[in-house]
Amino acid sequence: MNRRGGAALALALMATAASLTAARAEPPAAERVSSPLAAASRVADWQLAHMDSFDYVTTFRRDTEGPRDWVQATFFIGLTELADATKDRRYVVALQDHGAKEGWGFDGRPRHADADAIGQVWLWTAARSGDRKQLAPIIARFDAVLAAPSTVSLDFGPKPPGGGDPYCQARWCWSDALFMAPAAWVGLSKATGDSRYLAHADSEFWATTQALYDPAEHLYFRDSRFIARRDAAGRKIFWGRGNGWVFGGLVRILSALPADHPSRPRYEALFKEMAAKLVTLQGTQGYWPVSLLEPQDTPETSGTGFFVYGLAWGINSGLLPAKTYRPAVDKGWAALERAVGPDGKLGWVQQIGVAPDKVVATDTQLYGAGAFLMAASQVSKLK
């Protein structure tokens, strides 16, 4: 080989090395999504591919099948946050298609908070599409409540003689309701400029908090039946997911609440109180227990998802100091990722219920996936 040829070869090798270095430094576009969003996309894609049959759900399948009910609504709420975080048009289309198929409507329970939850999705699709006609059903629904507001007791009492929901569920008499309904009411005020919806949500939220929040423990009882109950060791019973609903609901409320609203400091103080308590209850593996005061290490991903979501949002919004709360978020997120199978199916989700219960690795549910998407969307924003 002559000198000129050797120089050319050296230059070629240097160029090849440089290109390889650049390739290592700059991953392909498909790999540039942050790992939390990549994990969330796998979970979302698995769930979207399994919406035609719910044979993998072991209990309460009819509740799961309701396209407007709270189970699917929670997944789609999570999908709105993932769509915002990833800008992936597939998720926007899935949300718009779901709304169009359902006519932006609600199920047949005109006052039940579980049925209000899908309204959070319709508010999102209306805002993204600019189609205010999508708001007509939620406006009609909430106006009917405001025209004749319920004054029933928040005590979780009996069901009507002919069957149906307990009387108190005409209001928000259980902790889950604080995720399902208030953010939809607050969001409708934001979308329409009509303050009546926010005023109703504010009043009812604090009525429920007065009834169910334990100021000594900084946690919520699931409903009034649990206030006097104790576990076998004499501990108060605070359901993990039940408090997850509230903590996640606070994020949704605060995200839509005007910065100058008179109640905002009160919501923020409650959020901080709960956060300070929750980080003391995280298990060694990163999951939160199904019964928060009972030390245990069985994985459970729905409550954990909501807690990671709330804590990460608190850091991102400046309400919580990262130095104090970031370790719990990182530990919780790592635990959530371990619960995702190779195919994207999320496991260890406690099934539908009203109290702490057993959970196994194969248990999955749409609300667990929704909480995972919410958590990932906030974890991805941490610096």
Catalytic residue positions? 176
CA dihedral defined by 277, 283, 288, 293, rounded to 10 degrees? -60
Torsion of CA 119, 70, 108, 201, to 10 degrees: -50
What is the rounded CA–CA span in Å between residue 41 and residue 374? 11
Distance CA 187, CA 191 (A): 6
**What would the DSSP string read from start to end of 286-314?**
SPPPSBTTS------HHHHHHHHHHHHHH
SS3 at position 193 = coil
Q: Take residue 88 and report the two structure tokens written for it.
A: 């992936």
**N-to-C CA span, the chain:** 53
CA atoms 146, 150, 156, 160: torsion sign: negative
Structure tokens at 292: 């928060």
Sign of CA dihedral 355, 370, 217, 261: negative
> Angle at CA 98, nearest 5°, toward 93 and 99?
100
CA–CA separation, 332 and 327 (whole Å): 8
**Tokens 């789609």 -> residue:** 76
What is d(CA 78, CA 91) in angstroms, rounded to the nearest whole number? 11
**Phi, psi (deg, nearest 5) at residue 30:** -65, -20
Distance CA 194, CA 333 (A): 38
**Token pair listed for 320:** 């919580």
Query: Pairing state of beta strands 219-220 and 213-214?
Result: antiparallel
Element containing residue 183 per DSSP (H, E)? helix 182-192
Structure tokens at 225: 């039946």
